[in-house]
């Protein structure tokens, strides 16, 4: 049994960890910590978590094997290193850290402690995303000419007061949803290079990008156009389009496949060559927990490994620099 301790009593901790853990054998949430222990107590009582306290109480709990950081990315490096030094494995909510330098510090600390550190790109463990990556690599599209990604949150979701609009907490659209796009591009095509970018910044905190449009170059010179935004329409967007010489692919709901993701491959003449829908009931957060349970048991490699996540954060840094903004 893997005992999980959570740092941070926000909504993501419930959605991404407490709820899915109830349906995954071999894992159990045993402790919750918050800066305000009373907030942790309320969380624990409402959701049936056995123990609560401040952050240090979780790190010192001998029942905790894996610490989940449901905290702003700007403090991930500090608390990940503390957890690793305490002998715990670590799962950081995405993104891994505030920038490539602090992300590397997490990976280095894991190596030094002989423990594992991971980043919570849960979508990578969903069967739909494996189907998407397999389709791209299968050759059915022919030579890839262009990749386009639009990950836009509906405009009414991120409002003043939201931590994603706080530069002190490493907020911003590329940090929040653009990191998913970068991770997916790296998985499908290899290492991208940021060429140009343009950001629409937040008047109340110009460090924050409300929307960034970036052009990247993939291996082989393939252009990739990426939009990360808090200014989406009422439905928002989570789509990926890949245009090849023989066919085009469109995948929807990519970040959260359980929300009805679909994949369609179409010929230049409009013939549907392949059509796939995400399996009803499959949950990416549950798949993530199953994956972590298994790799911690057998020591196998993981697509969520922090060392791989460092590369994603370095591309995020490149995009911000290309847009004339400082990395977080």
Active site residues: 94
Q: With contact defined as beta carbons under 8 Å apart, do 102 and 199 qualify?
A: no
From residue 281, give the alpha-carbon distance in Å to each of 68, 124, 130, 132, 251: 24, 16, 16, 18, 18
CA-CA-CA-CA torsion for 24, 25, 30, 34, nearest 10 degrees? -20
Q: Considering only CA atoms, which of 256, 216, 222 is closest in space to residue 239?
A: 256
Tokens of 277: 């829908």
């Amino acid at each position: 049994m893997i005992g999980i301790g959570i740092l941070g009593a926000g909504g993501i901790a419930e959605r991404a960890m407490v709820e899915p853990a109830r349906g995954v054998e071999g894992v159990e949430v045993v402790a919750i910590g918050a800066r305000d222990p009373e907030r942790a107590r309320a969380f624990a009582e409402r959701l049936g978590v056995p123990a609560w306290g401040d952050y240090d109480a979780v790190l010192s709990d001998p029942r905790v094997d894996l610490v989940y950081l449901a905290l702003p990315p700007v403090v991930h490096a500090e608390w990940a290193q503390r957890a690793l030094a305490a002998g715990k494995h670590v799962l950081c909510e995405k993104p891994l850290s505030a920038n490539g330098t602090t992300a590397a510090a997490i990976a280095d600390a894991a190596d030094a402690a002989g423990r594992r550190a991971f980043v919570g790109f849960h979508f990578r463990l969903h069967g739909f995303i494996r189907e998407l990556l397999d389709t791209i690599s299968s050759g059915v599209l022919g030579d890839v000419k262009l990749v386009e990604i639009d990950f836009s949150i509906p405009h009414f979701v991120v409002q003043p007061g939201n931590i994603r609009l706080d530069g002190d907490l490493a907020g911003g659209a590329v940090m929040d949803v653009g990191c998913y796009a970068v991770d997916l591009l790296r998985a499908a095509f290899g290492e991208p290079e940021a060429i140009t970018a343009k950001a629409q910044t937040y008047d109340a905190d110009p460090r924050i990008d409300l929307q960034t449009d970036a052009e990247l170059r993939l291996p082989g010179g393939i252009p990739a156009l990426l939009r990360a935004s808090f200014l989406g329409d009422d439905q928002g967007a989570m789509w990926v389009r890949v245009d090849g010489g023989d066919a085009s692919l469109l995948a929807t709901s990519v970040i959260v496949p359980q929300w009805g993701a679909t994949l369609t491959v179409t010929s230049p003449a409009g013939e549907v060559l392949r059509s796939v829908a995400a399996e009803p009931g499959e949950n990416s957060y549950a798949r993530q927990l199953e994956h972590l349970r298994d790799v911690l048991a057998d020591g196998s490699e993981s697509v969520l490994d922090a060392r791989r996540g460092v590369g994603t954060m370095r591309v995020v840094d490149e995009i911000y620099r290309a847009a004339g903004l400082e990395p977080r």
